[in-house]
Amino acid sequence: MTVIQQITVLGSTGSIGVSTLDVIARHPDRYRVYALTANTRVDLILPQIQSCRPRFVVMRDESAAQQLADQLKVLGDSETQVLAGAAGLLQVSAAGAVDTVMAAIVGAAGLEPTMAAVDAGKKVLLANKESLVMAGHLFMQAVARSGATLLPIDSEHNAIFQCMPARHQQGERHSLEADGVRRILLTGSGGPFRQTPLALLADMTPDQACAHPNWDMGRKISVDSATMMNKGLEFIEACWLFNTTPDKIDIVVHPQSVIHSMVEYNDGSVLAQLGNPDMRTPIAHALAFPERIDSGVAALDIIATARLDFEAPDYQRFPCLRLATEAVSAGGTAMTVLNAANEIAVDAFLEQRVRFTDIPVIIEHVLTGIPAIEPESLALVKEQDALARAMAQQFIRSSLSR
C-alpha cells in the first residue's frame, strides 16, 4: 500500500506550480497538497484552493493574504487557513506533516523557503535554480547536514540525474571521476534569438524575448533563455548538484530541445534522456522517484522529430554565458552577485527601462564592481545580494534609463 505523500507547492501559481498540480491531480492515491503559496495573485490561487483543498495557503504579500481570507470567508471555506508573508512560507516548508516540497518560487525570493525545507530534511524538488546559484556552498552543506533528499526539476539537471550512475542517484556524493563519468553535456535550445541578426538584438521587445520556441515558461526564465543566462545559471547549478568542476561540463546548443542533456562515461558511452519539452516529465520523475508514474505528457514521436541538431554556443551573441563562466572562476559570492544583477537587469528589461542588449552590460558592471568573498553565512550572502541589486539599480538610473 502506498502511503499518501503530503506536498507543499511553493510558487503554485507559476508555470512550474501549475504543471506540478496537474501531475499531482492525476494521482490522488499517492499525493495530497498540504500547502499552496503565491506572491500576489489571489485570482489564480483561488481556483487551486477549490480543487486541491490544502490545509494552508500562503500569500507572500500581506494585503493579498487579507483579500484571500475575506474571499474564502464569503465562500464559506473554513478548511484552508491563510498565512501571510515570509514567515508563512517558512512554516509550510518546514512543517512536520510535510513530506515533499516543490521549490518553484522564481528568483532569490525562493532561497529562504527552500532552505527551510532543506533544513527540515524534506524531499526537496528543486526548480528554483537561483537559490543554488546564490548560495550553492551553504545549500549543499545544509543538504548534507539535514539528510534532505534533493531532486532536480530543471529539465537538463533532471536528465543528467537520470543518466548518472546508480549510487549518485541514491545520494552518495562520490566524485564523478570515481564513477567513470568523463563529462556532462548540458544542452540548451539557444532560445528565440539564436539566429536573429546581431544588429537587431538591441531592439528586441519583452514579448519577443518571452516567445520561446520550445518551452512555455514564466517571464523571468524566458528572458534568461533569450540571453542564455539561463544556461549560465544552469552551468553553476550543475556544478553544485553533481559535485563537479566547470571543466567537466560542456554547453551544447540543441535547438529541438528533445535531448534534455547527456552524460559521457570513460568507456565512450554517452547516455542521453529524451522527451517532449514538457516540465511534467521531470516533475513526475522527481515526485515518484525511484518509481515511475504517468505525467500526462504525450509519447515522444521520434519519427516525426526526424532530426537532432547540435552546435557550439556562440559567446559573442550571448555575452551572459561568458559572464556566468567568469563568475564561476571568481568563485564565492561572485555567483550571488551575478544572480542578483541579472534579476535587476531582467526586471528593468521587462519594464522596458533598458534594452535587451543592456542586460549583460549591467551584469558586467556589477560583477566588476564587487569583489568576490567567501560565502561564510546566509547573512553574508544576503548582504552581497542586496549590494549587487543596489549597484545595478544605480547604474541603470545613472547610465541607461530610457
Shortest Cβ distance from residue 155 to Mg ion (Å)? 5
Q: How many positions of this chain bind Mg ion (CB under 5 A)?
A: 3
In the structure grid, which three cell numbers stand for residue 38, read together?
A: 503565491
Q: Is 286 in the site for ligand NAD (CB under 6 A)?
A: no
Q: Is 237 in the site for Mg ion (CB under 5 A)?
A: no
> Closer to ligand NAD at the Cβ: 107 or 313?
107
Q: Is 20 in the site for ligand NAD (CB under 6 A)?
A: no
Shortest Cβ distance from residue 152 to Mg ion (Å)? 9
Residue from 7, 24, 72, 105 touching ligand NAD (CB under 6 A): that is 105
CB-closest chain residue to ligand NAD: 14
**Residues 38-67, mask of contacts with ligand NAD (x by CB under 6 A):** xx-x------------------x-------
Shortest Cβ distance from residue 187 to ligand NAD (Å)? 13
> Closer to ligand NAD at the Cβ: 149 or 225?
225
Which residue matches cell numbers 541579472?
342
| Residue 104's binding partner out of ligand NAD, Mg ion, none, with CB under 5 to 8 Å set by partner kind | ligand NAD
Shortest Cβ distance from residue 359 to Mg ion (Å)? 18
Shortest Cβ distance from residue 348 to ligand NAD (Å)? 16
- Give, as ranges, the residues between 155 and 184 that touch Mg ion (CB under 5 A): 155-156
Q: Is 154 in the site for Mg ion (CB under 5 A)?
A: yes
8 A C-beta contact, residue 151 and residue 289: yes
Residue from 95, 279, 327, 391 touching ligand NAD (CB under 6 A): that is 279
**Residues 236-275, mask of contacts with ligand NAD (x by CB under 6 A):** ----------------------------------------
Q: Is 15 in the site for ligand NAD (CB under 6 A)?
A: yes
| Residue 218's binding partner out of Mg ion, ligand NAD, none, with CB under 5 to 8 Å set by partner kind | ligand NAD
Give dist(CA 127, CA 147) in Å, integer.
19
Shortest Cβ distance from residue 132 to ligand NAD (Å)? 10
Q: Is the backbone peptide bond immediately before 290 cis, with ω within 30 degrees of 0?
A: yes
- Give, as ranges, the residues between 106 and 165 that touch ligand NAD (CB under 6 A): 106, 109, 127-130, 154
SS (H, E, C) the chain: CCCCEEEEEECCCCHHHHHHHHHHHCCCCCEEEEEEEECCCHHHHHHHHHHHCCCEEEECCHHHHHHHHHHHHHCCCCCCEEEEHHHHHHHHHHCCCCCEEEECCCCHHHHHHHHHHHHCCCEEEECCHHHHHHHHHHHHHHHHHHCCEEEECCHHHHHHHHHCCHHHHCCCCCCCHHHCEEEEEEEECCCCCCCCCHHHHHHCCHHHHHCCCCCCCCHHHHHHHHHCHHHHHHHHHHHHHCCCCHHHEEEEECCCCCEEEEEEECCCCEEEEECCCCCHHHHHHHHHCCCCCCCCCCCCCHHHHCCCCCECCCCCCCHHHHHHHHHHHHCCCHHHHHHHHHHHHHHHHHCCCCCCCHHHHHHHHHHHHCCCCCCCCHHHHHHHHHHHHHHHHHHHHHHHCC
Q: Is 17 in the site for ligand NAD (CB under 6 A)?
A: yes
Candidate segments 9-17, 65-73, 150-158, 239-247, binder of Mg ion by CB under 5 A: 150-158
Q: Is 215 in the site for ligand NAD (CB under 6 A)?
A: yes
Q: Which among 186, 188, 183, 310 has a CA at the least distance from the CA of 247? A: 183
Shortest Cβ distance from residue 105 to Mg ion (Å)? 16
> Closer to Mg ion at the Cβ: 123 or 260?
260
Q: What count of Cα atoms within 13 Å lies in the side-chain half-sphere of residue 69? A: 13
Q: Is 324 in the site for ligand NAD (CB under 6 A)?
A: no
In the structure grid, which three cell numbers stand for residue 271, read together?
A: 547516455
Where along the sequence are the contacts to ligand NAD (CB under 6 A)? 11-17, 38-39, 41, 60, 104-106, 109, 127-130, 154, 215, 217-218, 220-221, 279
Q: Which residues bind Mg ion (CB under 5 A)?
A: 154-156
